[in-house]
Amino acid sequence: MMKLTEKEISILKSISQIAGVFTVIVALTMIFSFIQLKSIDPLDNPALLELKEQYDKDPDNVNKAEQIRAMDLMARKAYYATRRQIETGSYLLLAGAIVFIICQRLITGNEKVLPSVPGDIPDLALKQKRGRQLLMISASVITVGAILSSFLLRSNLPDIRTAKTVKVEKSAAKDNTGYSLADNEKTVIAAEEFSPDATNYPFFRGQDSRGIAGGAGYPTEWDGETGLNIKWKLQVPANGKSSPVIWGDKLFVTGANGTHGELYCIDKNTGTILWTASASEIPGEPSVLPEMDAEAGLAVSSAAVNSNSVCAIFANGNLICLDHYGNKKWALNVGTLENVYGYSSSLLIHENTLILQHDSNERLSIMGFDTGTGQMIWETARRGHPVWSSPVIATFNSKTQVVINGNPAVTAFDPVDGKELWSVDCLSGDVAPSLAVNGTMIYAVTDYQKLAAIKPGAGASVVWEDNTYTSDVSSPVANNHILVIATGYGDVACYNPQEGDTLWTHYFMEQFYASPVIADNKVYLLDRAGTTHIVKAADTFELISVSPLGEPADCTPAFSDKKIYIRGKNNLYCISQD
């Protein structure tokens, strides 16, 4: 340490004192500014909130919008001004503290070392004895404190012995009601709150497009080549990638030859084609087919059906709607559906509103049509880029909503008026898988990106995400206990839907395009070679059976009245044990 004169030390002491006082003043000012900052929420300004309320009632009022913008900007400016004060203050505080520390160290370093003159040599034995006594006293004080706090802090916590009994009783009760299977506690039920119909499988991936089938007793073993459990087999007149949908005894599937699209109504019990509806020569139909993947064709989107209508859309934009007897109710062209791979979104019907996800390079929107008249009821623009996913219906907090896995946002719309309910940015790139939905969350995935679990609603947010297993075409399926993803490289992964932990994974050799379906506590996984792998819908992997179709298949199976309907590359199969 350098040597300083008395005068220099005196100067340092003065500087140190000034720096100390300065530091204290700055600290107090900062505390005041900080409290002020904490109490300000720039967007919680009553005047601003009132203006926003007025604007909500009169959304076309441009002046109000401008006023809101100006006030919003002003509030933010004020907020940032306070923050700048704190920022500047912190530098001043640091500078003051450093000067103080430097001065003090220099002063201390120059103080002469004057060791105290030692007194008598301390009695070390006595010192040890006192040490032991003090340690025992300390330990006693701490022990008493610990015992007291263990009783004081325990209030309002459950007695775990009683709670365990209750837990056991509860699970026993579940067993009695058949809610859970007694032989395996880990077995889960496909859907608790969501109870899909056992007969009607009205959309792509069934009711609400969730990939969960109602009913039970579906076959687990079949062979398309030997005919084992194949009730009937029908060569569909025209090729297509659309999946079968079912209402009552009627199954509907689309196909296309070149530029000509058709909708087929088939008796689901016999495999007889009841009627065929053409979807050609509709005003507005483009003379040149839009750009599309060579393998896909016009009939990729699955039809949608309800009690009085069946609707189908084709990649040239032709949209038709008929009654269950093949009588055309209306037909129109929704405009060119030009996108990189060709249009593939399937239709939904909510009450009597046909919901169409419109994805083309020129226009991104969601549309609602009256199934009776074909009149467009509403259309809401969407932001981002075209995708190849299909909309799903979800219900959260008793609010039914149509949700789209888009790029970049997962967005929910009100099916009644098309208004956007919430949106959260999530994925980018080529988004083809549709969403999985359970009682609490929504799951979005696309390949080379990630799997994201989204908490829906106002302030929607991504709860967890993972990029180990992602699918490119196949859509995930979820209930409240498992989330299953079948990937384009043969891996199938099962996640804990709440936490995102991987529960199990299995490699199946073949790619998956068809979406997995949960039915009767089993997950049906149809690979591209046409083989269905049936595994237990549980948090541990258990393969139940492997059943080949005998031909490749990319379409998602349909489930109805103990029968499974699978569309292969050429044929449609009805699989039944009866």
Residues at the contact surface with other proteins, assessed by CB under 8 A: 1-2, 27, 31, 34, 41-43, 72, 76, 79, 83, 87, 90-91, 94-95, 98, 101-102, 104-105, 107-108, 113, 115-116, 118, 121-125, 128, 130-132, 134-139, 141-143, 146-147, 149-150, 152-154, 156-158, 160, 163-164, 167, 170, 396, 425, 439-441, 455, 457, 498, 501
Question: Per the structure block, which two tokens stand in for 344?
Answer: 């593939």
Do 26 and 96 form a contact (C-beta atoms < 8 A)? yes
Least separation, in Å, of the C-beta of 170 and other proteins? 7
Burial of residue 164 (CB within 10 Å: 0-12, 13-18, 19+) is: exposed
Q: Find the largest Cα–Cα distance for the chain.
A: 116
User: Three-state SS for 367?
Assistant: strand
Closer Cβ to other proteins, 408 or 548, answer by number? 408
Residue 562: count of CB within 10 angstroms of its CB? 16
Residue 146 corresponds to which amino acid?
A
Q: How far is the CB of 360 from other proteins (least distance, A)?
A: 19
Residues 6+ apart with CB under 8 A from 176: none
Residue 490 backbone class (left: φ over 0; alpha: ψ -120 to 50; beta: rest):
left
CA–CA separation, 463 and 441 (whole Å) = 9
Q: Which distant-in-sequence residues (6+ apart) come within 8 Å of 563 by Cβ?
A: 218, 219, 231, 268, 574, 575, 576, 578
Question: In the complex with other proteins, which residue's Cβ is closer, 32 or 541?
Answer: 32
Helix (H) or strand (E) holding 543: strand 543-548
> How far is residue 433 CA from its own chain's centroid?
12
Whether the CB-CB separation of 244 and 567 falls below 8 Å is answered with: yes
Residue by residue, DSSP assigns 377-410 as EEEEE--SB------EEEEETTEEEEEEE-BSEE
CB 316 within 8 A of CB 278: no
Which sign, positive or negative, has the C-alpha torsion 196, 197, 203, 204? positive
Per DSSP, the residues of 279-300 read --S-TT--SSPPP--TTT-S--
Interatomic CA distance for residues 154 and 516, integer angstroms: 47
H-run or E-run covering 577: none
Using CA atoms, how far residue 117 sits from 114, 120, 121, 155, in Å, is 9, 10, 11, 56
**The residue to which tokens 């609602």 are assigned:** 368
Return the structure tokens found at 110: 């120059």
Q: How far is the CB of 366 from other proteins (least distance, A)?
A: 19
Beta bridge partners of 563: 560
Q: What are phi and psi of 246, to 5 degrees?
A: -135, 140
Asked if 338 and 290 count as a contact pair (C-beta separation under 8 A), the reply is yes
| 351-352-354 Cα angle (round to 5) | 105
